[in-house]
Amino acid sequence: MADRWRGAYGRRMTRAVVIGATGQIGRAAVGALARDGWEVTAVSRGGDRDAR
């Protein structure tokens, strides 16, 4: 079962896209994922880059 989380080169896939990333929950999710070593793409309606 753990094999489904492995990429083509046998490494654990740690990429996430967070939709609504500048909202209260989304911002917390982005921070938690980044702290855990995930590569995070944050998406929001505003279109500007967040200062954080």
Whole-prediction pTM: 0.65
Nearest to 16 by CA among 44, 43, 39: 39
- pLDDT at residue 1 greater than cutoff 50: no
Q: Mind listing the pLDDT tens digit for each residue in 6-40? A: 656 666 778 999 999 989 999 999 999 999 989 99
Give me the long-range contacts of 1-5 (CB less than 8 A, separation at least 24): none
Q: What is the pLDDT of residue 48?
A: 61
